[in-house]
Amino acid sequence: MRDGIAQIQEELGVTPSFPAEVEDAAAQAADGAVLPGLDRTDIPFVTIDPEGARDLDQALHLERDGDGYVVHYAIADVAAFVKPGDPVDVEAHRRGETLYGADSKVPLHPTVLSEGAASLLPDQERPALLWTIKVDETGEGTDVDVVRARVRSRAQLDYAGVQAQVDAGTADEMIGLLREVGELRMKREAARGGVSLPLPEQEIDIDGDRWTLSFRDLLPVEQWNAQISLLTGMAAASLMVYARVGLLRTLPPPEPGEVQRLHRTAKALDIDWPAEQLYPDFIRSLDPAKPQHAAMLLACTRLLRGAGYVGFDGEVPEQPEHAALASEYAHVTAPLRRLADRYASEVCVALCAGDDVPGWVLAKLHDLPATMQGSGQKANAYESAVVDLVESAVLRPHVGQGFPGVVVAVDDEEPAQGEVVVQDPAIEARVSSKSGDPLPLGTHVEAVLAEADPGTRTVRFEV
């Protein structure tokens, strides 16, 4: 497995290691960072991330404010360590974002920064961009400000642990407020016409030399936490759109033909979709535990393709919205892992201070979309290749064996070809009809493993 991942990294031209001059510059930056004068270590921040995470971009705290709320969101201040044109900055532009695959991370920044001096680790004073967002009793953001400040996280929490406390009724007041605001924001998302696909996540679990696969649903606390990030990204976008300068994350609205195609898929799967029901409401009505609905949800991912970035200075883009969120939106909450966030955040800090946007930011606004598009494609290729490797290795001893599964996709041009999801082990792979007849979309099948080759990272089933 390790050799296979090393081969994937070589094929894509990526490596977890950094050139010596980049590591040296990062180490010097880690030692020489200056903390902001504004001291907000009085705010009892916590981080909530996957267990064992070290690159902690975000720390949060919520409090009541009359009938509403105040959200404090501290974001790692990468610009306190990385200067325009220095070796770390040049390398970050070459990489674009952190790549993830099993436990083989290819980081955007050297770990002395991303998992050390810049990370919002507990009980450490850190430079941060402190977002303060007021939220009314309906969950709507009403006011936003972002400043540089020193902060200190009180605790590093993980999703499973927090969810266990919520379920047991032992979570503290702040986590209760996270739940309140998260659920209010989810209701507002539905009211706006936003859409998210509740597809289970495929995970690679590693225990010593044993690699296994599983599907898992997102925990409620993960969704509440995500809503705080989305709230901040929408607030950032509103600042930039008003000032007519910035970097937005966009997604074009679906073409009418794509929605009509999904109506035909729903009909083929015998799922009722009233003509007057908008597709976001239809998607929210689906249950991924039902085979037909799982196939329908996978088909709906077509509507979420085409996301990108757009930089602007002087005129708002013709299409500024992120269609899945039904709102303007910007990436600003993960600067340790995404290059674009550092630039969008700097725009917002300047706007809130009444200052000019730094020249080094303006100089890159129109180049960043292409940089991030390239890094996004590489990140998807890396993750997919690692998953393909693990799937083929896990299944290799079972060629010829039958597995219960569900046909979740059928190719348009070749209906005898498609995709099947097997629950145990948790795999989605290519499937073909041995008879040449069209595959039965959205139905249970006995899928026979025809091929599993870690050398080519290929898995193929037949029915």
Closest CA to 240 of 305, 146, 149, 334: 146
Q: Give the three-state DSSP class for 178.
A: helix
Query: What is the pTM assigned to this prediction?
Result: 0.93
CA-CA distance, 87 to 24, in Å (whole number)? 9
Strands 427-432 and 417-422 come out as antiparallel
CA-CA distance, 106 to 110, in Å (whole number)? 10
Estimate to the nearest angstrom the gap between the alpha carbon of 372 and the chain centroid. Answer: 14
Structure tokens given for 11: 């094929």
Closest CA to 172 of 154, 187, 188: 154
- pLDDT confidence of residue 265: 87
Could you write out the DSSP letters of every residue in 78-139?
GGGT--TTSHHHHHHHHH-B-B-STT--B-SS-HHIIIIITS--BT-EEEEEEEEEEE-TTS
- pLDDT confidence of residue 208: 83
Cβ-count burial of 134 within 10 angstroms (0-12 exposed, 13-18 middle, 19+ buried)? Answer: middle
Closest CA to 211 of 448, 27, 395: 395
- pLDDT confidence of residue 204: 87
CA-CA distance, 431 to 397, in Å (whole number)? 18
- pLDDT confidence of residue 117: 98
- pLDDT confidence of residue 68: 97
Query: Mean pLDDT of successive 10-residue segments in the chain (463 residues)?
Result: 93 97 98 95 97 95 97 98 97 97 91 98 98 97 97 97 97 97 96 85 84 86 97 98 98 88 87 91 89 86 90 95 96 98 98 98 97 97 94 94 92 93 89 95 93 95 96
- pLDDT confidence of residue 367: 96
Domain ranges, ordered by start, for the chain? 2-200+219-250+313-359, 256-303, 399-462
Closest CA to 321 of 264, 372, 251, 272: 251
Which CATH entry fits the domain spanning 399-462: 2.40.128.90, 1.10.3720.10, 3.30.70.1350, 2.40.50.140?
A: 2.40.50.140
Instruction: Show Cβ contacts of residue 72 under 8 Å, excluding neighbours closer than 6 positions.
Output: 40, 43, 45, 60, 61, 62, 63, 130, 131, 132
Structure tokens given for 41: 């270590």
Q: Are 117 and 81 in contact (CB under 8 A)?
A: yes
Closest CA to 250 of 301, 306, 303, 192: 306
What CA–CA distances, in Å, run from 59 to 129, 142, 454? Answer: 10, 21, 40
Structure tokens given for 199: 């597809």
- pLDDT confidence of residue 102: 83
